[in-house]
């Protein structure tokens, strides 16, 4: 994949995230990151139960902050 293509994908994802954030569609916004965050937790912790618990904590906190009106949350996850 070329850098231009990857950059375009990131730009498109950022635009979609901004749209969902502006619409206060927080559940759909964070749902798009569930599998990636869950996988990162598993790779770090190496136990499914621990990874599930960690991912749940991540998303509970993020949802709480979004509902409180915090908008300066960067969600870029390197892959």
Residue 74 inside a domain? The answer is no
Give the largest CA-CA distance in the chain: 38
Range of the domain at 34: 3-67
Question: Per the structure, how many domains does the chain have?
Answer: 1
This prediction has a pTM of 0.74
Residue 28 inside a domain? The answer is yes
Model pLDDT, residue 76: 55
- Give the pLDDT mean for 31-36: 93
Q: What is the DSSP string of 24-60?
A: T-HHHHHHTTHHHHHHHHHHHH--HHHHHHHHHHHHH
What angle is formed at CA 64 by the lines to CA 75 and CA 22, rounded to 5 degrees?
60
Which residue, among 77, 74, 79, has the nearest Cα to 21 in the 3D structure?
74
Residue 73 inside a domain? The answer is no
Model pLDDT, residue 79: 46
Model pLDDT, residue 8: 82
Model pLDDT, residue 26: 92
């Amino acid at each position: 994949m070329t850098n231009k293509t990857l950059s375009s994908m990131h730009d498109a994802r950022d635009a979609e995230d901004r749209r969902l954030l502006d619409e206060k569609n927080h559940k759909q916004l964070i749902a798009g990151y569930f599998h990636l965050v869950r996988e990162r937790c598993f790779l770090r912790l190496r136990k499914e139960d621990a990874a599930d618990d960690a991912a749940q904590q991540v998303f509970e906190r993020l949802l709480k902050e979004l509902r409180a009106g915090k908008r300066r949350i960067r969600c870029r996850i390197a892959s």
